[in-house]
C-alpha cells in the first residue's frame, strides 16, 4: 500500500519512500497488530503530550492532522490490516 503524496506531506513522511512508516510503524512491510498497538497505546494523547507522534495521528489524511489520537486514527491502521508494499 502507499499513501498519496498529499497524505505523506500531512503525516510528515517521505513521498519518495515506497513503504512509508505509518501505518507500518514497525517497518516490516506489513500492517499488523503491533502497528495498530503503536496507535492505540497513544489513545487520547494530544500534540502537546510528549509521547504524541504524528505517525499515530493518521485519521485525517485529506487535511491537517487534528492533533489528537482517536478512533479514526486507529481505524486508519486497522482498515489497512495485512496490507503491505513492495519496496
CB of 7 to Ca ion, least distance (A): 13
Q: Is 86 exposed, middle or buried (0-12, 13-18, 19+ CB in 10 A)?
A: exposed
CB of 75 to Ca ion, least distance (A): 10
> Of residues 10-69, which lie at the interface with Ca ion (CB under 5 A)?
24, 26, 28, 32, 35, 57, 59, 66
CB of 68 to Ca ion, least distance (A): 5
Is residue 46 helix, strand or coil? strand
Specify the residue, 2 or 26, whose C-beta has the smaller distance to Ca ion.
26
Q: How is residue 83 written as a grid cell?
A: 496490507
Please state, as a whole number, how many other Cβ atoms lie within 10 Å of the Cβ of residue 31: 24
Q: Are 22 and 7 in contact (CB under 8 A)?
A: no
Q: Would you tell me which residues interact with Ca ion (CB under 5 A)? A: 24, 26, 28, 32, 35, 57, 59, 66, 73
Amino acid at each position: 500500500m502507499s499513501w498519496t503524496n498529499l497524505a505523506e506531506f500531512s503525516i510528515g513522511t517521505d513521498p519518495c519512500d515506497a513503504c512509508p512508516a505509518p501505518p507500518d510503524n514497525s517497518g516490516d512491510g506489513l500492517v499488523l497488530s503491533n502497528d495498530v498497538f503503536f496507535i492505540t497505546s497513544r489513545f487520547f494523547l494530544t500534540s502537546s503530550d510528549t509521547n504524541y507522534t504524528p505517525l499515530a495521528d493518521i485519521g485525517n489524511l485529506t487535511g491537517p492532522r487534528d492533533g489528537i489520537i482517536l478512533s479514526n486514527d486507529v481505524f486508519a491502521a486497522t482498515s489497512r490490516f495485512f496490507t503491505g508494499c513492495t519496496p
